[in-house]
Structure 1
Amino acid sequence: MRFVIVTGLSGAGKSQVVKHLEDLGFFCVDNLPPSLIPKFAEVCFQSRSKMDKIALVIDIRGGELFKDIFPGLSEIKAAGYNYEILFLEASDEVLIKRFKESRRNHPLSNEGRLNKAISEERKILQEIKNNASHIIDTSNLTTRQLKEEIARIFVEGKHFEGLIISIISFGFKYGTPIDCDLVFDVRFIPNPYYISSLKKLTGKHEDVKAYVLKSKETEVFIEKLSDMLEFLIPNYIKEGKSRLVIGIGCTGGKHRSVAIADDVYRLLVEKQHRVVIEHRDIEKDNKALAK
């Protein structure tokens, strides 16, 4: 029997995870009152049915009832029932964006400020996060990538013990991404913007890539960055970090940062790291010119 408690921050992707778990054959129950966990677990574990994969979604939508989760989990542990906790989180910036796009209210907002509600929720959930079997940061994961992470844990049986590396290319003139752990300024590298045949292209174009990556400065930079990341990544994993965000910025986020971010992404994937990439500002200059 696999008995999973799915919890985490509001807007972090619990609904998507439930869909993926159902596809994997899990019987899923959403928003079960935590006080009912022991009785529900008893029924599931003693049942003679073929129901051998159970997932319960429990979060702060239950209000004051959420505090009953800890006595409930202690009771099923004392009864000898094994369980796992899957905790989902995301950055404040991403959560705020998701709530604004969906026009949903945060369970703790009460018409107050959204960032304050998220901060309060983090405090409430900290204890259960500390006891989580698996923690997934969904900030930069696509639906497909999240599905793959769920499959890694619940099909392949791999314990979540690594970290997801997010690489973001950006333009300094549009601001530095606030959730970056590491930021690298590549404005010292020769700029394709001043080459007439390359100006309107992006760092995804082969001619721009060749111009940027064949620069001596770029070669040395990527070599040193690669060495540094190979030192840092194992230590971040050892420290328990589940997400590393690397920002690579140039002036407009269109040429140099894009080409270099893509190359760093390639190198990390080749070394079997789990990496996602985003080119935040790649089209902003074009949109500005079109106005």
Structure 2
Amino acid sequence: MTESLPEYPDLAAGGAVDPDEVTTDLVVVTGVSGGGRSTVARALENVGFYVVDNLPQALMLDMAQLAFEAGGAARRTAMVLDVRSRAFSTDLAGAILALRERGFSPRVVFVDADDEVLIRRFESVRRSHPLQGDGRLADGIAAERKLLAEAREQADVIIDTSHLNVNQLRRRVEELFGGEDVRRLRITVLSFGFKYGLPPDADYVLDARFLPNPFWVPALRDHTGLEESVSRYVLDQEGADAFVNTYAELIAATAPGFEREGKRYLTVAVGCTGGKHRSVAIAEELTTQLRDQRLSAHTSHRDLGRE
């Protein structure tokens, strides 16, 4: 019989832990190879997490209990899983369920990227994919996506790194995990350009293309929606105020329900043609209005600077 657990009778007895008494902040990071898991891990370390890399899924509950017992810095622990971890177990769903049944509340982060981007990343460092074998890179990526399909469905937040550099990805992680109350719904208002494709992680997609395009105004063409001249031009157009106000009220009305259902992250994507003028100005104004309603919101501009 183990003598090291008398302080924690629930754990020692194998019973469930009262979630209200467990202050351990657990993050599970998984995702596709080449998607940026290592950058996410380093960013989590920057905001105070103890990071365990390449942890077998079968040891997740043991690691969570160790973190709980250790206290201190270990109370914020991130477990990073990749395809090598699956050599010991492929039941990520079962491992997450086991954590929740013991009173822990893990947040699952899935790091993703487009296939073409992943191929370019592997080719740039002259590495083969872990599941490639004797086939092509694309074969390894497809095999891994099939293995990770269930994990992606379970994720609390999906971070698409296709158009993010290392610093942008680090900032995104720090914004998500850097110290606000983890129970609050965190809203990312993401501007994008439709010509570059829809954001795959969007919960809401707003289309700002009904507004006149500043691109066709010579004095505004080379400026962005972050600048006052462009912002005022966009927001002064007929229907712009109603558009922003309506969506701000909709998001504010649904936010409490999302929080009750356990959703922690909401991505509101605002699109225009190129992601430079209208969507940027609208995203900034929408974020301001959401903050005015005491919601945790920040902006991210996916395609700004691509033109």
Name the TM tier (shorter chain): 0.5 to 0.7
* 270-279 or 202-211, which deviates more: 270-279
- Within a 5 Å distance, the mapping from 1:217-256 to structure 2 comes to 217-256=239-278
Shift of 1:89: 1.1
Partner of 1:266: 288
Deviations 1:203-261 (A, max 9, x none): 22322222221223212222222222222333334444444333333344332222222
Inter-partner Cα distance in structure 2 for 1:261 and 1:205? 13
Shift of 1:276: 3.2
Quickly say closer, same or farther: Cα 1:258–1:224, change in 2 above 3 A: same
Structure 1 unmatched ranges of 5 or more: 285-291
CA contact (8 A) 1:169 1:280 kept: yes
Aligned length: 269
Shift of 1:267: 1.9
| Match for residue 183 of structure 1 among 205, 216, 222 | 205
Inter-partner Cα distance in structure 2 for 1:74 and 1:222? 39
SS state at 1:246 partner:
strand
Quickly say closer, same or farther: Cα 1:108–1:5, change in 2 above 3 A: farther
SS state at 1:144 partner:
helix
Inter-partner Cα distance in structure 2 for 1:26 and 1:250? 37
CA contact (8 A) 2:203 2:266 kept: yes
Quickly say closer, same or farther: Cα 1:86–1:13, change in 2 above 3 A: farther
Deviations 1:20-66 (A, max 9, x none): 5555666544324455668878888888x988556554443133312
CA contact (8 A) 1:5 1:83 kept: no
Partner of 1:120: 147
Letter in 2 for 1:138: I
Q: Does 1:137 align with 2:158?
A: yes
* 2-11 or 192-201, which deviates more: 2-11
Q: Does 1:169 align with 2:153?
A: no
CA contact (8 A) 2:29 2:110 kept: no
Quickly say closer, same or farther: Cα 1:198–1:145, change in 2 above 3 A: closer
CA contact (8 A) 1:268 1:275 kept: no
- Within a 5 Å distance, the mapping from 1:61-140 to structure 2 comes to 61-67=84-90, 85-91=106-112, 93=114, 97=117, 100-101=120-121, 103=123, 106-110=129-133, 111=136, 112=139, 114-123=141-150, 125=151, 129=154, 135-139=156-160
Quickly say closer, same or farther: Cα 1:252–1:224, change in 2 above 3 A: same
Quickly say closer, same or farther: Cα 1:262–1:41, change in 2 above 3 A: closer
Inter-partner Cα distance in structure 2 for 1:257 and 1:45? 44
Letter in 2 for 1:88: V
CA contact (8 A) 1:185 1:249 kept: yes
Shift of 1:274: 2.9
- Within a 5 Å distance, the mapping from 1:45-64 to structure 2 comes to 53=75, 56-64=79-87
Deviations 1:97-151 (A, max 9, x none): 356435555544544152452242122x379x48xxxx44333773134134334
Quickly say closer, same or farther: Cα 1:168–1:19, change in 2 above 3 A: same
Structure 2 unmatched ranges of 5 or more: 1-22, 162-167
Inter-partner Cα distance in structure 2 for 1:75 and 1:190? 53
Inter-partner Cα distance in structure 2 for 1:177 and 1:73? 27
Query: How does the TM-score come out when normalised to structure 2?
Result: 0.64
Quickly say closer, same or farther: Cα 1:255–1:29, change in 2 above 3 A: closer
Query: How does the TM-score come out when normalised to structure 1?
Result: 0.67
Inter-partner Cα distance in structure 1 for 2:100 and 2:256? 33
Inter-partner Cα distance in structure 2 for 1:221 and 1:42? 48
Quickly say closer, same or farther: Cα 1:113–1:232, change in 2 above 3 A: farther
RMSD (Å), alpha carbons? 4.3
